[in-house]
Structure formats: structure tokens, C-alpha cells
């Protein structure tokens, strides 16, 4: 469905694409154009490392006359971006644990993922392991009601590991296909809260040893460099399998994915782009890059 990403993430594309368009339209490319490209990449949150790697490679190609025109530059840039962010298939799996800072979009993503997998005929069980706030449990329960999906919840201020334990038991004893665990938002710098997540993860592995736990980190794409720092620490503490970039409808920058891929080597699994239940897409890097540069 070509153009899907472009239409739905129009803000990213109008800002980044219009700036790039000027350079790609040139008949001859000079060193100073690469400097301008560098500025654009940095402004789009591509990060220092990825940007430097890209510009170094393009400079070599300019010097060896592999790149002479704006059109050549566009192709060469696409190649570099695909090198940094290769297309990858991931195991969609059966057990998901969602983590991230407060308000990054975990609960909304839990509902969207549940809905998407439900559409594929899977039977889902949701676990509200956010026991800090009664409202958090309610939020997931409301989604559960709307989607007709069962939600396992504990009592307020209870031990999240205990709710997850109960969730795993129910998952094992029923005919469910997928278990999605929503956790409470936490700052990556709160050591005790990170240890709590580690404990939850261990409970799942112990209760469901035959399943791989997909630990997904939701990152608010509007936070730019800050979300990069979060990813780094979450990954160090609890091993993240994949990233869900949320609120892609709100950002005009599209480079953060390259910064994450180049420095953290964590794949992006999904992009979430709105508050409606169906606004979720499995990430396809080739499509994303092609449309970004189109
Ligand atoms: N525009 C937009 N809003 C989103 C998206 N995802 C989530 N939101 C909104 O962002 C706010 C926070 O989302 P939640 O899903 O509650 O975030 P959370 O990570 O569960 O938050 P805590 O449980 O408080 O840590 C809500 O108002 C959501 O409707 C998205 O992709 N786009
Ligand atoms: Mg939540």
C-alpha cells in the first residue's frame, strides 16, 4: 500500500522531505551540499553517530565521482540509510511485555496490538500490571471491554509481579494465543523500579519457559534525543527486544529511528500514529526510507 506511511505520518514527511528536495534537485553536488544535508539530518534527530557515518560515506562517493548529481545523492543516501536500518523480520511471538516511561503510550499500544492480533484470529489475554494507579487498570479494562478481551488485574498498590504471575497462570490454563502485559510507566533512572521490571520478566520466563518474552519499549517520537537516552538505559537494565515508536503523528522529524538503529542496534517493531485503535503499523524500513526521500 504505497503512500500509506506518507499519508498517515504527513508531518514527518512534509518537514524532512521538503528540505531534502532542494538538494536532490541540483544538477551538481558539491561539498557544501553535504554540509547542508548534515544539518538537515541532525535537525531531524538522526543523531551524531549515524549522521557522521552517512556524511563520511557520501563524501567518499563524492570524491570518487560516484555521486555527482542530486539524483545520485538521493540514491546513495537511501543506500546508507538502509544500511543503518536494514529491513528485518521479527518473530511476532506470543508473549509481550510493554515497558517505557510515563505517558509514552504503553497502554494505548497494548490495546492496538491486541486489536491487530485479534483481527488475525488470535485469542488475547491482557494483564494490567500497572498497580500504581487505579486509573491505569481502568484504562486497560475499558479497552478490554471495547475489544471483548479479558483483562487480568490485581489490586491497587499490589505487587506487579503477583499480577503477572496470575496472568501467566490464566494464560496457561486457557486457550489463549497471545499474552500482553502492560506495566507502569517509570523513569529509566529509578533503579528500584527497573529492578521491579527485571523481576516481572523473570516471573514470566519461569512461568512460561516455553515462550520467548518479547520485551517492547515504547518511545515517544516527539522526545527526540531524550528518547534515545531512555532506550539506552532500559536496554542496559532489562534487555529490550524491540522498540515501538509512538506518536509519530505528532513529530516533524523522522531521524530518531536511524539514531537508535546505529547506536543501540535495537530493531523498531511497530510505529503508532494516533489515538484510534487501528493506527498501528508493523515497521518496514524500506518503505519508510523510500517515502522519506521521495
Ligand atoms: N497522538 C497520539 N497520541 C497517543 C499515541 N499513543 C498514545 N497516545 C496518547 O498519549 C497519552 C498517553 O498514552 P498511554 O497509552 O496512556 O501511555 P502510557 O505509557 O500507558 O502511560 P502511563 O501508564 O501513565 O505510563 C494518551 O492520551 C494517549 O491517547 C499516538 O501514537 N499518537
Ligand atoms: Mg499506561
Domains of the chain, CATH where assigned = 4-84 (1.20.120.140), 95-283 (3.40.50.300)
State pTM to two decimals: 0.92
The three cell numbers of residue 243 are 522498540
Sheet harboring 124-129: ordered strands across? 150-153, 124-129, 178-183, 95-99, 213-220, 242-246, 268-272, 280-282
Q: How confident is the model at residue 238 (pLDDT cuts 50, 70, 90)?
A: very high
Q: 226 — alpha (psi -120 to 50), left (phi > 0) or beta?
A: alpha
Distance in angstroms (rounded) separating the CA atoms of residues 187 and 172: 31
Torsion, Cα 218 179 211 213, to 10 degrees, reads 10
Q: How confident is the model at residue 109 (pLDDT cuts 50, 70, 90)?
A: very high
Distance in angstroms (rounded) separating the CA atoms of residues 291 and 2: 9
Residue-wise pLDDT tens digits, 197-221: 999 999 999 999 999 999 999 999 8
Mutation to probe ligand 1, out of 9, 98, 105, 251 (largest number of atoms < 8 A from CB): 105
Does ligand 1 come within 6 angstroms of the Cβ of 220?
A: no
Atom of ligand 1 nearest to the CA of 273: 31
Q: Report the percentage of the chain scoring pLDDT > 90.
A: 71
Let me know: does 240 contact 122? Beta carbons within 8 Å: no
Longest Cα–Cα distance of the chain, Å, equals 66
Distance in angstroms (rounded) separating the CA atoms of residues 43 and 259: 12
Residue scoring higher pLDDT (65 or 3) = 65
Question: Which of 39-43, 157-161, 231-235, 251-255 is predicted least confidently?
Answer: 251-255
Let me know: does 223 contact 102? Beta carbons within 8 Å: no
Amino acid at each position: 500500500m504505497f503512500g500509506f506511511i506518507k499519508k498517515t505520518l504527513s508531518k514527518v514527511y512534509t518537514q524532512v522531505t521538503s528540505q531534502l528536495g532542494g538538494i536532490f534537485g541540483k544538477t551538481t553536488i558539491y561539498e557544501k551540499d553535504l554540509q547542508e544535508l548534515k544539518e538537515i539530518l541532525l535537525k531531524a534527530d538522526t543523531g551524531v553517530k549515524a549522521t557522521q557515518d552517512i556524511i563520511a560515506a557520501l563524501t567518499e562517493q563524492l570524491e570518487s565521482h560516484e555521486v555527482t548529481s542530486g539524483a545520485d545523492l538521493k540514491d546513495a543516501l537511501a543506500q546508507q540509510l538502509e544500511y543503518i536500518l536494514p529491513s528485518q523480520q521479527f518473530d511476532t511471538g506470543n508473549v509481550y511485555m510493554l515497558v517505557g516511561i510515563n505517558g509514552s503510550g504503553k497502554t494505548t499500544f497494548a490495546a492496538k496490538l491486541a486489536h491487530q492480533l485479534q483481527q488475525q484470529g488470535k485469542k488475547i489475554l491482557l494483564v494490567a500490571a500497572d498497580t500504581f494507579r487505579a486509573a491505569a487498570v481502568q484504562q486497560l479494562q475499558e479497552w478490554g471491554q471495547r475489544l471483548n478481551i479479558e483483562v487480568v488485574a490485581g489490586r491497587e498498590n499490589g505487587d506487579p509481579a503477583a499480577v503477572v504471575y496470575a496472568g501467566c497462570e490464566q494464560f496457561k490454563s486457557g486457550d489463549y494465543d497471545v499474552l500482553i502485559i502492560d506495566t507502569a510507566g517509570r523513569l529509566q533512572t529509578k533503579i528500584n523500579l527497573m529492578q521491579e521490571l527485571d523481576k516481572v520478566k523473570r516471573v514470566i520466563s519461569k512461568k512460561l519457559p516455553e515462550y520467548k518474552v518479547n520485551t517492547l519499549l515504547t518511545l515517544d517520537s516527539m522526545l527526540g534525543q531524550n528518547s534515545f537516552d531512555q532506550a539506552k538505559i532500559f536496554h542496559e537494565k532489562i534487555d529490550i527486544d524491540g522498540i515501538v515508536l509512538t506518536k509519530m503523528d505528532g513529530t516533524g522529524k523522522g531521524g530518531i529511528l536511524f539514531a537508535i538503529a546505529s547506536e543501540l542496534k535495537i530493531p523498531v517493531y511497530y510505529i503508532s500514529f494516533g489515538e484510534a485503535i487501528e493506527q498501528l503499523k508493523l515497521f518496514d524500513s524500506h518503505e519508510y526510507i523510500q517515502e522519506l526521500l521521495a
